[in-house]
Each structure stands twice: as structure tokens, then as C-alpha cells.
């Protein structure tokens, strides 16, 4: 009996101590006020410094040649043609006693795997969309910065640059990969990713994410493919767009024109009729052509690491691409103008749209049925 009492006492003590330890190790709940600024709080921060629109930010700090260029720190040689237009540039922004801010709403989502360590933001000024890319060394960014989230960023102490003509908030990065294809053209300085810790310390979320506040520019393909002036193209890059009444063609761009996608295995065939077959570990985005009723064409860009990479194009299947034209509708995504070699003049096929996931493709047949999502199977 005495032994039983002792055991019961020990058990009770164990439960009490365990309960205390468990309680002590349970972190307090995080309140929304600790994670998100109110608009009033954001305005108080802005009042202590300067706020620029996205276009003002680019116009103020992004120069054609960049300020991060010297005899000892050269840009990659393919960056410029005749020393006039620089496709790669870096302008560092000096740290200021008074903060310099930009703000915008996130338009990208990396859950689909088609965006990697990059964000795009938009800002509506006088009814018109302004946009900018953010190069950030942060995987699974959607966990912290969700689509529809408005953010305030302190930019002094960072840099703005152009990577293949695409303006972006960044930090300088040196590429010394002597084993890359055409390495002699690529070695040098270029815009690089902002370390995650630095970006987090400089970025504040305003309010809760709200995708309903995203604004799409509704465009025809020719509205942007006819723009071949580099300076003008930069102001269109990174915009959130909706292209209406288009269909996939089942073709892709080549250096000499276009070519028809094959029915091969996307793990081996770089030209297979899926969104993004293998690149044999090179890693460049794959482009598949869409077309409107007038015959204007542009590309949809997808990564071979996207979750939908090996899904057949809308209307395509193991037999080919003949049914692609039967699925017509709207395409949404991020507009991009990518021109990475100044040896070539700007062209319409430098433009593309990057979708976030397959929900960005609202393509239907004549009966109003949405295109079937079918993944390639061996």
C-alpha cells in the first residue's frame, strides 16, 4: 500500500512538472498587429523619409551605363552594343540618414514553381500600372510575402539594375563561371539577389494580402510586341497583364523563326509539346507560342522546375498539337522583355508572359469547357 502511494505521488509530480515544462515551452500567440503595419503606421514611417513611386524610383536612380563600372569591375561584355544601350547595369543607392521608400502590391506567387527567388510588385498611380521586379535570395517566398500583399521597402543601401534589360531592385553580383556556355561573354558584374536577411529587415507588410486589389492591364499581343525601343520596353516589363482571345499554337521560337513541338518524352526531348521539357540541366525558361485571331504571336515562358512543366499544352496530347487551336480564351501573367545579348537588335520574340500557375490559362473549347489538364506519362 505504501509503495502504491509513493508511485502515485511520483506520477502526480511528473505530470505537474511536465505540465509546467510544456506550458513554459509554448510560445505566445502572434497577433496580426505584430506582423502587419496599418496604413497609419506606414504613413508615420514614410513621413520620416522619402517615398517614390516605382517609376520615379527607376527614373531617379537607374542610369543607362550604371555607376558600378570601372576598369577593375567590368560588366559582362555582352551587356552593351557600341557603348550606347546597356542590357546589364547596376546603380548602387547610397545609404541615407532619411529613409527612401517604395511601395507596391505583390503580383507573383512561387507556389507553382514558375517563379524562383524573385517577386514582382505593382503600384497604381493616376489609374495606370507601374511595376518592378525584386531579386531576392529567398526560396518559398510566398510563405512570407503572399500574392496580393502590399509591402513597403527601404531602398537606400540597395541597388537598382537591369538584368537582360529587365529593371530590378537588387545587389551587385559577380559571375566568374568560366565553364559556362560562351563564358567570355558572361563573366562580369550583373544585378544579383538581395540576401534574405537584408530584404526582411527592410521590408514591411501593410495590411493583409488582398488579391482582389490586383489590377490587370488588358492588352492585345501587338500592344507590346510592337515596342522595340529598349527604354520604352523597360517601363512595360513586370506588369501584370491579361491577354484576351488567344490560343496555343504548339510551336516554339528558334533563332531563325519557329518550329513545331514534338510528341517526345519531355525528360529527354527539349522540344516536346509540354509547357517546359528538359533543358539538359542548363535551366533556361522554355517558351511556347500563343496567337490571337489576327495572327500576332508571343511566348508563354515556363520553367522546367514548375510543377506543371510536363503537362501537355492546352489541346495537345500524345498524338500531337492539332487541337491546340480549339481552346481559346484569356491568359494572365507577368509581362517580360528579356534581351540578354546586345549583338542582336530587339525583336518581337524577346517578349513573353510568365504564368504563375495553370489557373492563369482560361482557355475553353466551343462548348465552353475548360481545357483538360493532362500530365505526360511514359
78, 137, 214, 304 alpha-carbon torsion, rounded to 10°: 70
Distance set, CA 344 to CA 233, 256, 339 (Å): 16, 13, 8
What is the predicted pLDDT for the residue at 78? 65
Number of H helices, E strands in the chain: 8, 23
**Confidence (pLDDT) at 77:** 56
Q: What is the DSSP secondary-structure string of 134-203?
A: EEEE-TTGGGTS-TT-EEEEE-TTSEEEEETTEEEEEEEEEE--TTSTTHHHH-EEEEEPEEHHHHHHHE
Contact 368, 304 (CB under 8 A): no
Q: CB of 331 within 8 A of CB of 242?
A: yes
C-alpha pair distances (Å), 319 with each of 82, 101, 274, 323:
48, 53, 12, 10
Q: Please check whether residue 104 is in contact with residue 134, taking contact to mean a CB–CB distance below 8 angstroms.
A: no
Domain ranges of the chain: 32-213, 217-364
pTM for this model (two decimals): 0.89
Phi, psi of 175 (to 5 degrees): -100, 115
Measured between alpha carbons, how far is 261 from 378 in angstroms, rounded to an integer? 17
Work out the end-to-end distance of the chain between its first and last CA atoms, rounded to an integer number of angstroms: 71
Alpha-carbon dihedral angle through residues 33, 211, 240, 190, given to the nearest 10 degrees: 30
Q: Per-residue pLDDT for the chain (378 aa), expressed as one digit of tens each?
A: 444 444 444 545 444 444 544 455 676 665 656 689 999 999 999 999 999 999 999 999 999 888 887 655 566 656 776 777 788 889 999 999 999 999 999 999 999 999 999 999 999 999 999 999 999 999 999 999 999 999 999 999 999 999 999 999 999 998 887 777 777 777 778 899 999 999 999 999 999 999 999 999 999 999 999 998 888 999 999 999 999 999 999 999 998 889 999 999 999 999 999 999 999 878 889 999 999 999 999 999 999 999 999 999 999 999 999 999 999 999 999 999 998 877 777 888 999 999 999 999 999 999 999 999 999 998
Q: Could you give the CA distance from residue 289 to residue 349 in angstroms, rounded to a whole number?
A: 9
- Report yes or no: 117 and 139 within 8 Å, Cβ to Cβ: yes
In angstroms, the CA 68 to CA 88 distance is 11
pLDDT score at 30: 56
Amino acid at each position: 500500500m505504501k509503495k502504491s502511494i509513493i508511485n502515485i505521488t511520483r506520477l502526480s509530480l511528473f505530470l505537474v512538472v511536465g505540465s509546467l515544462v510544456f506550458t513554459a515551452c509554448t510560445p505566445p500567440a502572434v497577433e496580426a498587429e505584430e506582423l502587419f503595419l496599418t496604413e497609419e503606421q506606414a504613413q508615420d514611417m514614410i513621413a520620416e523619409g522619402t517615398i517614390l513611386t516605382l517609376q520615379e524610383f527607376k527614373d531617379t536612380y537607374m542610369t543607362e551605363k550604371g555607376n558600378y563600372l570601372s576598369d577593375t569591375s567590368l560588366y559582362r561584355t555582352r551587356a552593351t552594343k557600341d557603348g550606347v544601350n546597356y542590357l546589364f547595369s547596376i546603380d548602387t543607392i547610397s545609404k541615407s540618414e532619411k529613409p527612401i521608400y517604395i511601395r507596391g502590391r505583390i503580383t507573383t506567387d512561387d507556389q507553382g514553381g514558375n517563379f524562383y527567388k524573385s517577386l514582382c510588385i505593382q503600384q497604381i498611380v493616376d489609374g495606370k500600372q507601374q511595376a518592378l521586379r525584386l531579386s531576392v535570395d529567398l526560396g518559398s517566398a510566398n510563405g512570407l510575402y503572399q500574392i496580393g500583399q502590399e509591402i513597403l521597402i527601404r531602398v537606400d543601401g540597395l541597388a537598382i539594375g537591369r538584368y537582360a534589360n529587365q529593371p530590378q531592385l537588387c545587389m551587385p553580383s559577380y559571375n566568374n563561371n568560366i565553364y559556362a556556355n560562351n563564358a567570355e561573354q558572361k563573366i562580369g558584374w550583373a544585378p544579383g539577389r538581395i540576401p534574405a536577411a537584408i530584404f526582411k529587415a527592410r521590408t514591411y507588410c501593410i495590411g493583409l494580402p488582398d488579391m482582389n486589389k490586383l489590377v490587370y492591364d488588358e492588352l492585345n499581343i501587338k500592344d507590346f510586341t510592337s515596342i522595340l525601343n529598349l527604354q520604352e520596353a523597360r517601363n512595360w516589363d513586370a506588369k501584370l497583364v491579361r491577354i484576351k482571345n488567344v490560343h496555343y499554337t504548339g510551336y516554339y521560337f528558334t533563332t531563325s523563326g519557329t518550329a513545331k513541338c514534338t510528341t517526345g518524352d519531355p525528360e529527354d526531348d527539349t522540344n516536346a509539346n509540354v509547357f517546359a521539357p528538359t533543358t539538359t540541366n542548363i535551366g533556361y525558361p522554355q517558351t511556347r507560342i500563343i496567337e490571337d485571331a489576327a495572327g500576332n504571336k508571343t511566348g508563354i515562358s515556363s520553367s522546367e522546375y514548375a510543377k506543371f512543366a510536363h503537362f501537355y499544352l492546352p489541346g495537345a496530347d500524345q498524338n500531337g498539337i492539332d487541337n491546340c487551336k480549339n481552346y481559346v480564351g484569356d491568359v494572365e501573367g507577368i509581362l517580360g522583355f528579356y534581351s540578354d545579348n546586345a549583338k542582336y537588335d530587339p525583336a518581337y520574340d524577346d517578349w513573353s508572359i510568365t504564368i504563375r500557375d495553370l489557373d492563369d490559362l482560361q482557355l475553353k473549347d466551343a462548348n465552353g469547357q475548360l481545357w483538360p489538364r493532362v500530365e505526360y506519362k511514359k
